[in-house]
Structure 1
Amino acid sequence: MIKILIFGGSGYLGNTIFKELNPFYDVYCTYFQNIHFKKNKRFFCFDLNDDFTRIVKKVNPNHIISSLKGDFNKQMFFHKKLINYCDDKNIKLLFVSSSNVFDTFTNYPSYENDKTFSESIFGRFKINIENKILRMKSKKWVILRSPMIFDKNSPRIKDILIKSKRSIAIEIFPNLIVNINSAKKFAKQIHYLISRDINGIIHHGSNDLVNHDEYIFSVVKKLNIKKINYKYIYTTNDNRYLALFSNQTIFPNHLQFSFEEVLREIIK
């Protein structure tokens, strides 16, 4: 049986991936502050200052998924060592990346082989790690690029609920055109990639586009929030894109979805 170690398995996305994969594979995870996982024998406490090889040697995984959050400088150092370790030990590495690696290109959606270019700190951070993965001697790696995750219980939905209760304005970008992802659908697609032993750069997310402000308005309506304040942010006078499309046919029809399907998940 394939053995998988998820760094960042206690976070929202990492734990969704764990729940999807655990019935089918031998899966282990790391957690940091959430003591809820302390008694779970499949979870190991891990700090970015720790030596990760202690956990990796104990689990001896075939695959490592990185879904970590935290200090960017510490993550950079961690991923540099992890990438080299995976290359040396022939471990397949799956790295969760972001549409922000393209946040400077604004005129159209981005595809897998487009050149990455970002003006944001987050985007440049993801690009730096992606470039290190691309230089691996082994081809046993997957870069999992995802657009915004906006499904039930996601941090973005929780943020909207909290801000609405506290009368804090929610930022919306009227000229921004995006596609949307769901953690559950993302996890199912990752499951498919593992089961088919697919490598390379993979773009995830809905197969259609929506304006950021329209999507937020729809989310607020689904959540039945009656009173809410918005802060309109215009970064340009023209429409700009922050969306991931694919020129590959990787996922079967049942794993493809629209942003409307993600919206429906919010009230399930």
Structure 2
Amino acid sequence: MKKRILILGATGTVGTAIYRQLSQEKDWEIWGTYCSSKQKDSSMLRFSVEMPDKIHSLLGQVRPDLVISSLRGNFDRQLTVHESIAGYLSANGGKIIFISTANVFDGNCKKKHYENDPTNSDSEYGRFKIQCEDLLRERLGSRTVIIRIPFVWGKNSPRIQEIRKGCEKGELEVYTDFFSNHVADLQIAKTLRWIIEEDKEGIFHVGTSDVIEYQDFIQKLICAMGGKKPCFVCQKEPGVMAVLNSRDDLPNSLKWDSERLIAYLNS
């Protein structure tokens, strides 16, 4: 019997990459959700966190063995949705992979963070993600896999579009004295595929292995794109926002650095 996988938020930068990657596996039956723009693919179903109760009929229709949550939207309604998912999986079996964020550590921006570090957030977004992580782990235990990611990039992602517009305009806002790592949509998708194939558990920090100043990364990216360097409007944000991998089971093929990320974005 095919494994049934439901991807919530399958039309965003991360969700799209995951949907495309997992759809390559013939032994998996992949379903995804979209919010507003109707999709031609019959395996794409409409779902919005603005109607959180609809999650019950969606789960009943798909009957997933695995839910991948890459949702966006109102935090309270998202939390309600995740409570319902936890209840369904608790009663019917199955796992969840929850896409979280480096912001669960934004209450301590003085150092890099690894999987086993205690979470600590000062932002509403970070605290919300911590709530979701804690809820799912409490209800489902080891059947919850958490993926924490830093700045996300794709070949046509909002951040790339912002860079292109800045180059055209001749002006681009950048952070200075701010050190971070980054992640490609493809790196996330390939890591999730490996996690599913190998039935891995726990917390994964997915991102580049090197931590560099944000402005320096943007300069290297623009140079690789062949664009004209714009005038940088600098916002001083001293600190570090980086989630690094400390697991010893991750294959080398899934380990990226900034150079590989920039090459991918320009391929």
Fold-level similarity (TM above 0.5): yes
Equivalent runs, 1:3-152 vs 2, <5 Å: 3-24=4-25, 25-35=28-38, 37=39, 39-48=40-49, 49-50=51-52, 51-152=54-155
Structure 2: runs of 5 or more not aligned: none
Aligned partner of 1:17: which letter?
I
Aligned partner of 1:249: which letter?
D
Provide Cα deviations, 1:22-70, integer angstroms capped at 9, x if missing partner: 12121000001112x1x31110011211411211111111100000111
Q: In structure 2, the residue corresponding to 1:23 is in which secondary structure?
A: coil
Which protein has the bigger strand share?
2
What is the CA–CA distance in structure 2 between the aligned matches of 1:83 and 1:57, rounded to whole Å? 14
Which protein has the bigger helix share?
2
What is the CA–CA distance in structure 1 between the aligned matches of 2:167 and 2:254, rounded to whole Å? 33
Q: Which residue of 1 aligns with 2:201?
A: 199
Q: Which residue of 2 aligns with 1:178?
A: 180
What is the CA–CA distance in structure 2 between the aligned matches of 1:74 and 1:171, rounded to whole Å? 32
Aligned partner of 1:215: which letter?
F
What is the CA–CA distance in structure 2 between the aligned matches of 1:44 and 1:147, rounded to whole Å? 28
Structure 1 pair 151–41 and aligned structure 2 pair: CA distance change class (3 A): closer
8 Å contact from structure 1 (residues 149, 182) kept in 2 = yes
What is the CA–CA distance in structure 2 between the aligned matches of 1:71 and 1:224, rounded to whole Å? 38
Aligned partner of 1:44: which letter?
L
What is the CA–CA distance in structure 1 between the aligned matches of 2:123 and 2:114, rounded to whole Å? 19
What is the CA–CA distance in structure 2 between the aligned matches of 1:80 and 1:67, rounded to whole Å? 15
Deviation at 1:227, TM superposition (A): 5.0
Deviation at 1:139, TM superposition (A): 1.9
Q: Give the alignment's TM-score, normalised by structure 2.
A: 0.93
Equivalent runs, 1:160-171 vs 2, <5 Å: 160-166=163-169, 169-171=171-173
Aligned length: 262
Q: Which residue of 1 aligns with 2:192?
A: 190
Q: In structure 2, the residue corresponding to 1:173 is in which secondary structure?
A: strand
What is the CA–CA distance in structure 2 between the aligned matches of 1:251 and 1:189, rounded to whole Å? 9
Provide Cα deviations, 1:62-85, integer angstroms capped at 9, x if missing partner: 100000111222212212222222
Aligned partner of 2:236: which letter?
Y
Aligned partner of 2:265: which letter?
I
What is the CA–CA distance in structure 1 between the aligned matches of 2:89 and 2:201, rounded to whole Å? 14
**Identical-pair percentage:** 28
Q: Which residue of 2 aligns with 1:248?
A: 247
Deviation at 1:166, TM superposition (A): 4.3
Q: In structure 2, the residue corresponding to 1:164 is in which secondary structure?
A: helix
Structure 1 pair 137–96 and aligned structure 2 pair: CA distance change class (3 A): closer
What is the CA–CA distance in structure 2 between the aligned matches of 1:106 and 1:46, rounded to whole Å? 35
8 Å contact from structure 2 (residues 19, 32) kept in 1 = yes
State the superposition RMSD in angstroms.
Answer: 1.5
